[in-house]
Amino acid sequence: MATESPNPSPFGRVLRSPVPFSVLGALVVGTLFLLATGSDPVTAYGAVVEGAFGADGIGSTLSSSTAVIGLAVALAIPLRAGLINLGGDGQMVLGGITAAAVGLYAPLPAVLTVPLCLLAGMAAGAAYAALAAVCQNRFGVPLLVTSLLLSYPAVSFASYLARYPLKDPASSLPQTRRLPAGVALPEFGTSTVTLGLVLVAAVAAAFYFVDTRTPAGYEIRMTGLNSRFASYAGIDRPRLTLRLMAVSGAVAGLVGAVGVLAFPFRFTDGSLTASGDTWTGLMAALLASAAPVGTALAALFFAALKVGGLNMERVTEVPSELTDILQAIVIVFLAARFTLKRRRRAASSPESPAQAPTPAVPAAAPEKETA
Amino acid sequence: MTPRPESPAVEMRGIVKAFPGVVANDHVDLTVRRGEIHALMGENGAGKSTLMSVLYGMERPDSGTVLLHGREVSFADPSRAIAAGLGMVHQSFKLFPSLTVAENVVYRAEPRRFGLVDRAAARRRTAELAAEHGLDVDPDARVGDLPVGVRQRVEILKLLHRGAQVLILDEPTAVLTPAEADSLFAVLRGLADQGRTVLLVTHKLREVLEGSDNVTVLRDGRVAARLRTAATTAEEIAAAMTGRDVELDRMHPGGTPGEEVLTVRNLSLPGLTDVSLSVRAGEIVGVAGVAGNGQGELVEALAGLRPAVSGEVRVAGREVTGATAAERRAAGLAYVPEDRGEVGTARAASVAENLAMGHHRKGLRSRRGLLPGAAVRSHAMELIERFGIKASSPEIPAGALSGGNLQKLVIGRELAHEAPLLIVEQPTRGVDIGAIENIHRQLVAYRDAGHAVLLVSAELSEIRGLSDRVLVMYEGRIAAEYDREAADERTLGLAMAGGAAPPSGGGSGASGPRPGEESTASAPAASVPAASVPAQEKR
Amino acid sequence: MFLDSDLLFSALRALTPILLAALGGAICERAGVFMIGLEGMMLMGCFTAVTVSWFSGSPWLGVLVAALAAAAYSLILAVGTVTLKGDAVVLGVAMNLLAVGLTGFLLRTTFGVQGTFDDPALAGLGTVDLPGIASIPFVGPALSGHSALVYFSWIAVPVAAVLLFRHPWGLRLRGVGETPDAAATLGVSPARYKYAAILVSGVLCGLAGAQLALGNVTLFSENMTAGRGWIAVVAVMLGRAAPVGVLLAGLLFGIAEAAGFRLQGLGLPQQATDAAPYAVTLVALFLTTAKRRRRTPAGASA
Amino acid sequence: NASASKSDPASGSAGSGKSFVLVTPDAVAQNEFLKLAVAGVKSAAKAHDASSKVYESTDDASRQQNVKAAVNASPDVIVLIGFEFADLAAQQAEAGPDQQFLLVDSCTTKTYENVTCATFREQEAVYLAGAEAGLLSESGKVGAVDVLDTPQFRRYSEPFAAGAKKTASGTKSTTRFVGGDSPFNDAARAKEQASSLISGGVDHIMAAAAAGNYGVFEAAQAKGAFAYGVDVNQCSAAEGTVVDNVVKRTDVAVEKGIGTILSGTTGRTVSYGLKEGGMSLTGLEDGVADSGCVIAEHTDVIAEVEKLREQIVTGKLTVDDPAA
Ligand SMILES: Nc1ncnc2c1ncn2[C@@H]1O[C@H](COP(=O)(O)OP(=O)(O)OP(=O)(O)O)[C@@H](O)[C@H]1O
Ligand SMILES: Nc1ncnc2c1ncn2[C@@H]1O[C@H](COP(=O)(O)OP(=O)(O)OP(=O)(O)O)[C@@H](O)[C@H]1O
Ligand SMILES: [Mg+2]
Ligand SMILES: [Mg+2]
For range C221-239, the mean pLDDT:
91
Q: What pLDDT, on a 0 to 100 scale, did the predictor assign at position D263? A: 92
- C188 contacts in chain B (CB < 8 Å): 79, 107-108
> How many C-alpha atoms does A244 have within 13 Å on its Cβ side?
32
Residues whose CB falls within 8 Å of the CB of residue C119, separated by 6 or more in sequence, listed in order = C54, C219, D237
Is B78's CB within 8 Å of C186's CB?
Answer: yes
Which residues lie at CB < 5 A from ion ligand 3?
B 49
Distance, CA B404 to ligand 1 centroid (Å)?
12
Q: What pLDDT, on a 0 to 100 scale, did the predictor assign at position C123? A: 92
| Residues D249 and D277: beta-carbon distance below 8 Å | yes
| Residues C69 and C44: beta-carbon distance below 8 Å | yes
For range D22-47, the mean pLDDT:
86
User: Which pTM value belongs to this model?
Assistant: 0.85
Is B306's CB within 8 Å of C299's CB?
Answer: yes
Is A56's CB within 8 Å of D7's CB?
Answer: no
The string of pLDDT tens digits covering residues C242-294 is 999 999 999 998 888 888 887 887 778 888 888 888 989 888 988 888 777 66
CA atoms of C103 and A321, how far apart (whole Å): 9
Which residues lie at CB < 5 A from ion ligand 4?
B 403, 430
CA atoms of B178 and B184, how far apart (whole Å): 10
CA atoms of A131 and A147, how far apart (whole Å): 8
Residue C154 has a CB neighbour count (10 Å cut-off) of: 17
**CB-based burial, B99-138: b 16+ in 10 Å, e otherwise:** bbbbbbbbbbbbbeeeebbbbeebbebbbebbeebebebb
Q: What pLDDT, on a 0 to 100 scale, did the predictor assign at position A364? A: 34
List the pLDDT tens digit at each of the 371 positions of chain A.
344 344 445 556 665 667 788 888 889 988 998 888 888 999 999 999 999 999 888 989 999 999 999 999 999 999 999 999 999 999 999 999 999 999 999 999 999 999 999 999 999 999 999 999 999 998 888 898 899 999 999 999 999 999 889 988 887 788 999 999 999 999 888 778 999 999 999 999 999 999 999 999 999 999 999 999 999 999 999 999 999 999 999 999 999 999 999 988 999 998 899 888 999 999 899 888 899 999 999 999 999 999 999 999 888 878 888 888 888 888 888 877 654 443 333 333 333 333 333 333 333 333 332 32
Is C186's CB within 8 Å of B79's CB?
Answer: yes
Q: Considering only CA atoms, which of C13, C14, C15, C21 is closest in space to residue C208?
A: C21
Q: What is the dihedral of CA C207, C209, C215, C219, to 10 degrees?
A: -140
Q: What pLDDT, on a 0 to 100 scale, did the predictor assign at position A249? A: 98
CA atoms of B77 and B72, how far apart (whole Å): 15
Residue of D29, D200, D215 lying closest to C114 (CB–CB): D29
Whether there are 3 or more C-beta pairs closer than 8 Å between D and C is yes
B518 versus A298: the higher-pLDDT residue is A298
User: Is A293 in CB contact (< 8 Å) with chain C?
Assistant: no
Considering Cα of A109, then A112, then A115, then A119, what sign does the dihedral take? negative
Q: What pLDDT, on a 0 to 100 scale, did the predictor assign at position A345? A: 36
Considering Cα of B31, then B34, then B40, then B45, what sign does the dihedral take? positive
Q: Is the peptide bond before A264 cis (omega within 30 degrees of 0)?
A: yes
Q: Residue D123 carries which side chain, given as an amino acid letter?
A: Q
The string of pLDDT tens digits covering residues B138-147 is 999 999 888 7
C39 versus C298: the higher-pLDDT residue is C39
Distance, CA B175 to ligand 3 centroid (Å)?
14
Residue of C115, C119, C226 lying closest to D189 (CB–CB): C226
- B307 contacts in chain C (CB < 8 Å): 298
The string of pLDDT tens digits covering residues D212-243 is 999 999 999 999 999 999 988 899 889 999 99
CA atoms of D98 and B333, how far apart (whole Å): 77
Number of A–D residue contacts, CB under 8 Å: 82
Is A226's CB within 8 Å of B324's CB?
Answer: no
| Residues C39 and C81: beta-carbon distance below 8 Å | no
Distance, CA B48 to ligand 3 centroid (Å)?
6
Q: Are strands B260-269 and B333-336 parallel, antiparallel or unpaired?
A: unpaired
* CB under 8 A, 24+ apart: contacts of B68-74: B68/B9, B68/B10, B68/B11, B68/B166, B69/B5, B69/B7, B69/B8, B69/B9, B69/B34, B70/B6, B70/B7, B70/B8, B70/B11
- A156 contacts in chain C (CB < 8 Å): 271-272, 274-275
CA atoms of B150 and A343, how far apart (whole Å): 40
Beta-bridge partner residues of D242: D227
Calculate how close chain B gets to C225, using CA atoms only, in Å. 35
Q: Considering only CA atoms, which of D178, D161, D158, D181 is closest in space to residue D169?
A: D161
Residue B366 has a CB neighbour count (10 Å cut-off) of: 13
Least confident window among A186-200, B240-254, D43-57, D248-262: B240-254
| Residues A185 and D97: beta-carbon distance below 8 Å | no
The string of pLDDT tens digits covering residues B335-376 is 999 888 889 999 999 999 999 999 998 889 888 889 999 999
Residue of C166, C172, C181 lying closest to B107 (CB–CB): C172
Q: How far, CA to CA in Å, does A247 sit from each of A203, B251, D258?
A: 10, 55, 51
For range C198-202, the mean pLDDT:
97
Say if residue C2's pLDDT is above 70: no
Residue of C168, C174, C175 lying closest to B112 (CB–CB): C168
Calculate how close chain C gets to A170, using CA atoms only, in Å. 21
The string of pLDDT tens digits covering residues C42-88 is 999 999 999 999 999 999 999 999 999 999 999 999 999 998 888 88
CA atoms of B511 and B488, how far apart (whole Å): 26
Average pLDDT, chain B: 86
Q: Phi-psi bin for C29: left (phi > 0), alpha (psi -120 to 50), beta? A: alpha
Task: Give the confidence band of D148 by pLDDT, cuts at 50, 70, 90.
Answer: confident
The terminus-to-terminus CA distance of chain D in angstroms comes to 36
Q: Phi-psi bin for A228: left (phi > 0), alpha (psi -120 to 50), beta? A: alpha
Considering Cα of B105, then B111, then B112, then B118, what sign does the dihedral take? negative
| Residues A168 and A178: beta-carbon distance below 8 Å | yes
Is C223's CB within 8 Å of D239's CB?
Answer: no
Beta-bridge partner residues of B453: B284, B422
CA atoms of A366 and A209, how far apart (whole Å): 40
Beta-bridge partner residues of B225: B217
Say if residue C199's pLDDT is above 90: yes
DSSP string over C39-85: HHHHHHHHHHHHHHHHHHS-HHHHHHHHHHHHHHHHHHHIIIIIIT-
Say if residue B512's pLDDT is above 70: no
The string of pLDDT tens digits covering residues B173-182 is 876 767 778 8
- Minimal-distance CA residue of chain D relative to A51: D69
Q: What pLDDT, on a 0 to 100 scale, did the predictor assign at position B507? A: 35
Q: What pLDDT, on a 0 to 100 scale, did the predictor assign at position B44? A: 77
Q: Are strands B197-201 and B166-170 parallel, antiparallel or unpaired?
A: parallel
Residue with the smallest CA separation from ligand 2 atom 24 is: B403
For range B489-515, the mean pLDDT:
56
**Percent of chain C residues past pLDDT 90, beyond the cut:** 58
A184 versus B510: the higher-pLDDT residue is A184
| For the CA of B403, the nearest atom of ligand 1 | 26
Q: What pLDDT, on a 0 to 100 scale, did the predictor assign at position B264? A: 96
Q: What pLDDT, on a 0 to 100 scale, did the predictor assign at position B436? A: 87
For range B146-175, the mean pLDDT:
88
Least confident window among C221-225, D19-23, D182-186: D182-186
> What secondary structure letter does DSSP report for D236?
G
Is D86's CB within 8 Å of A64's CB?
Answer: no
Residue A104 has a CB neighbour count (10 Å cut-off) of: 18
For residue B44 and ligand 2, the question of a CB distance below 6 A is answered with yes
Distance, CA B403 to ligand 2 centroid (Å)?
7
Is C223's CB within 8 Å of D3's CB?
Answer: no
Average pLDDT, chain C: 89
| For the CA of B400, the nearest atom of ligand 2 | 31
For residue B400 and ligand 2, the question of a CB distance below 6 A is answered with yes
Residue with the smallest CA separation from ligand 2 atom 29 is: B402
Residues A359, A362, A367: CA angle, nearest 5 degrees:
140
For residue A349 and ligand 2, the question of a CB distance below 6 A is answered with yes
Q: What pLDDT, on a 0 to 100 scale, did the predictor assign at position A139? A: 84
Which of A175, A192, A314 to mutate to test binding with chain D, by most D CBs within 10 Å of its CB? Answer: A314
The string of pLDDT tens digits covering residues B372-393 is 999 999 999 999 998 888 888 9
- A64 contacts in chain D (CB < 8 Å): 61, 65
Say if residue B302's pLDDT is above 90: yes
D15 versus B9: the higher-pLDDT residue is B9
Q: What pLDDT, on a 0 to 100 scale, did the predictor assign at position C297? A: 41
Q: Considering only CA atoms, which of D177, D129, D132, D173 is closest in space to residue D151?
A: D177
D22 versus A8: the higher-pLDDT residue is D22
Say if residue D20's pLDDT is above 90: yes
- D239 contacts in chain C (CB < 8 Å): 120
The string of pLDDT tens digits covering residues B19-54 is 887 899 999 999 999 999 999 998 877 899 899 999
| Residues D209 and D228: beta-carbon distance below 8 Å | no
Is A3's CB within 8 Å of B326's CB?
Answer: no
Which chains contact A through at least 3 pairs of Cβ atoms less than 8 Å apart? B, C, D
Q: What pLDDT, on a 0 to 100 scale, did the predictor assign at position B402? A: 77
For range B452-473, the mean pLDDT:
91
Secondary element (H or E) of residue B201 = strand B197-201
| Residues C40 and C98: beta-carbon distance below 8 Å | yes
Is C225 strand, coil or helix? coil
ipTM confidence score: 0.83
Beta-bridge partner residues of A176: A167
Is D181's CB within 8 Å of C226's CB?
Answer: yes
Length of chain B: 539
